[in-house]
């Protein structure tokens, strides 16, 4: 009897389930979902985009400029204090911006949007100028 207990405790270990392949699969799945996920950084305020009948596709960009209905400006999740801060941010990151996509609330003042566009173009050092696009609401189709 003592011999049987000793054999169970000091067994060869062949009965264990191999965990290494399962861990490899979990890490591969984790890497796949991290690479394939699209990261969206919400602005610090709500923006309701206007509707449009035309459609142009732009590749997803690292920086989106948001304008709220009360004139607040944000680039991705960073709230800008004023137009000068926004201009400095655009000037320092301009090599990463091929097309500046502006997402203005449908209730935003036209003058605020024009001021943002003019300041962004003025701060650009590109010879051909900074290309600007306005985002509109996507259809729910």
Q: Indicate the helix (H) or strand (E) that contains 134.
A: strand 131-134
pLDDT at 31: 92
What pLDDT, on a 0 to 100 scale, did the predictor assign at position 124? 75
Question: Are the CB atoms for 123 and 88 separated by under 8 Å?
Answer: yes
Q: How far apart are CA 43 and CA 75, in angstroms?
A: 7
Alpha carbons 103 and 127: distance in angstroms, whole number = 25
Q: Reading across the β-sheet that carries 73-75, which strands appear in turn?
A: 78-80, 73-75, 64-67, 99-104, 131-134
pLDDT at 67: 92
Highest-scoring range by mean pLDDT, 26-30, 59-63, 118-122, 131-135: 26-30
pLDDT at 23 (0 to 100): 92
Instruction: List pLDDT tens digits, range 40-58.
Output: 777 778 877 777 677 666 5
CA angle 103, 76, 139 (to 5 degrees): 40
Per-residue pLDDT for 72 more than 80? yes
Listed range (12-16, 90-94, 130-134) with the worst mean pLDDT:
12-16
pLDDT of residue 140: 52
Q: What is the mean pLDDT of residues 61-82?
A: 86
32: number of Cβ within 10 Å: 10
β 78-80/99-104 pair status: unpaired
What percentage of the chain has pLDDT greater than the value 70?
Answer: 77
- What's the pLDDT at 130? 77
Give me the pLDDT at residue 62, please.
65
């Amino acid at each position: 009897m003592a011999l049987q207990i000793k054999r169970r405790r000091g067994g060869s270990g062949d009965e264990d389930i191999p965990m290494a392949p399962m861990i490899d699969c979990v890490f591969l799945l984790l890497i796949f979902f991290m690479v394939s996920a699209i990261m969206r950084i919400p602005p610090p305020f709500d923006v309701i985009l206007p509707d449009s009948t035309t459609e142009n596709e732009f590749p997803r960009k690292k920086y989106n400029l948001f304008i709220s209905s009360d004139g607040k400006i944000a680039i991705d999740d960073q709230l800008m204090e004023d137009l000068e801060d926004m201009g400095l941010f655009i000037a320092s990151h301009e090599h990463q911006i091929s097309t500046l996509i502006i997402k203005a609330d449908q209730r935003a003042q036209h003058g605020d949007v024009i001021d943002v566009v003019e300041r962004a173009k003025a701060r650009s050092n590109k010879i051909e100028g900074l290309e600007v696009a306005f985002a509109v609401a996507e259809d729910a189709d």
